[in-house]
Structure 1
Amino acid sequence: MTALGKLARGVQTFFCDIAQGFFEITHNGFAVVGLAVVFSCLTLVARPDLRQAGESQLVAWLHQRQAQQLGVVPELDAIDRATALNPKDLPKQQAAVAYWLSKKYRVAPEPLSALVAEAYETGSRVKIDPLLLLAVMAVESSFNPFAQSPVGAQGLMQVMTGVHSDKYENFGGKLAAFDPVTNLRVGAKVLQECIQRAGSTQAGLKFYVGAALLSEDGGYAEKVMAEHARLQAVAAGKAVPLAPPQPLRTATPVDAMRPGKPDETTPAV
């Protein structure tokens, strides 16, 4: 064999040895990786706490990456804080009321649907017509959950938060007055007490607005009862024309009837 042939054969042997070594190393490496994966899977099956921690870290990392790309911090549970329902998910009667109020007061039907549903549930619990609760909200705040009057009446039902702070204790404090559902529940309780104290709905509304010891209530009870009648007609499936919408405001039309101080003799809401 010539010297050139020997050189070629040596080079060939050299590269074959390298290829075989690389194959063995790779094969053993894959085997190690496979064993590591199997061991990890068995560990995660045996230790759910580790699996949960790993999933939480992965989700947190994915959220962080998404926040970096979008420039916002995603909150998948934010929907739980929203006071909103699809009106199509409501019973026909409640949906009709929600759509009608939405058009009249220029409020989105989804949050109004949640309030209508809550009014029916709360009204059943405190033995008050839910449509009366909705009528009170309409007259008091035009469904503005952040409304406040000059004398401190706040939220959807314009409850005097300072006077009825005790009623908010079970909801975390007075700031809950600006949670629509909480304000509705507290306002319904106050209205229930007013009606029981006065002996009738109309007289109870006079107590509610803080005009119990006055000769008249500025037409407040009449406005509420008129809206109540319209809502009854809507719930019954009748075509009820929309009255001119009231302008958005941060004070109720009957603020002058409310006492300025909690210790005055006229009952305050």
Structure 2
Amino acid sequence: MFASTIFSPALGRVSSVALALFQKFLMVAGLVFVLALIGLQIGYPGLINGLKSLVPSAVASVPEQAVGELGVASAEPLLETLSPRMQGALNYVSRRYRVSTEALQPIFATAQTVGRELRLDPLLIVAVIGVESGFNPFSQSVFGAQGLMQVVPRFHLDKLPEEADHQSAFLDPVTNVQVGARVLEESIRRNGGLENGLQQFGGAIKDPARRYSLKVLAEKQRLEQALQRQSVSAT
């Protein structure tokens, strides 16, 4: 009882793994010793060296098991592979906005994934990001809008994953694109079309000139034209 109040469950698991490692080592070492004696008896001393090589490989499997039992996180899953269309758009954005391709990779992969889920053109999401923040994930407006798609946190906390930190989640590029794309899809659906939805998303629903939607659509057109030029140059 005293030991259970002092040692944490994690420490208990460490002890169990260490004991398993020691037991396995003794078992293999004992087997090697017995077989080595047999080898000497039958006049085959080379058997000893062969058996020694078995010890490291047999014991090496235990640390891998220990890692799993201790709950050590494995490597994060790879991001979704970009389609040729999205990869071409990424290359264009990298040159135009002077942002590294490595920094853009998770942004474009998320736009591709969430775009497919919400039935939004991922290039539209990318165009909104370009207009809203110029691909600066730490951008913040005077009205409190944050991140790549300039989402206002107090209005969209319900769209965050349960485990997200409400204080900083909207500055995370992947989370911001996930939430921002949902806000965009909701705006388009509720306002009866793309242009009205964009105006709502940009907080300019009453602008008769529709300047915000025109700006986003012009950005999307530039992306598509860049892809066409890349396609022509490739042929």
Instruction: Provide structure 2 residue ranges, at least 5 long, that are not aligned to the other structure.
Output: 1-22, 31-54, 68-72
Tell me which of 157, 174, 177 is aligned to 2:170: 177
* Matching residue within 60, 63, 73 for 1:52: 63
Q: State how far apart, in whole Å, the 1-side matches of 2:199 and 2:218 are.
A: 15
1:39 aligns with 2:26: yes
Instruction: Provide structure 1 residue ranges, at least 5 long, that are not aligned to the other structure.
Output: 1-35, 57-75, 241-269
**How big is the shift at 1:198?**
1.2
Contact 2:82/2:112, CA 8 A, preserved across alignment:
no
Three-state SS of the structure 1 residue aligned to 2:159 is helix
Aligned to 1:228: 220
| TM-score normalised by structure 2 residue count | 0.64
Identity percentage of aligned residues: 36
Partner Cα separation in structure 1 for residue 119 and residue 113 of structure 2: 10
Alignment of 1:119-134 (within 5 A): 119-134=111-126
How many residue pairs end up in the alignment?
178
Which of 1 and 2 has greater Rg? 1
Moved more, 193-202 or 164-173: 164-173
Q: Find the aligned partners of 2:65 and 2:107 in 1 and give their Cα distance.
A: 40
Within 1, Cα distance between the matches of 2:95 and 2:28? 57
Q: Which of residues 155, 159, 163 is equivalent to 2:151? A: 159
* Structure 1 letter corresponding to 2:100: A
For residue 134 of structure 1, report the CA deviation from its aligned partner. 0.1
Give the structure with the larger helix fraction. 2
| Preserved CA contact (<8 Å) 1:97 1:235 | yes
**Partner Cα separation in structure 2 for residue 164 and residue 192 of structure 1:** 13
- Show the counterpart of 2:198: 205
Q: Work out whether residues 93 and 237 of structure 1, in 8 Å CA contact, stay in contact via their aligned partners in 2.
A: no
* Structure 1 residues 197 and 149: CA distance shift in structure 2, 3 A: same
Conserved? CA contact 2:128–2:216, under 8 Å: yes
Match of 2:138 among 113, 135, 146: 146
Change (3 A) 1:234 1:214: closer
Distance 1:133 1:207 in 2: 15
Kept in 1: contact 2:86–2:123 (CA 8 A): no
- Other-structure match for 1:193: 186
* In 2, Cα distance between equivalents of 1:113 and 1:230: 20
Rounded Cα–Cα distance in structure 2 between residues aligned with 1:144 and 1:125: 24
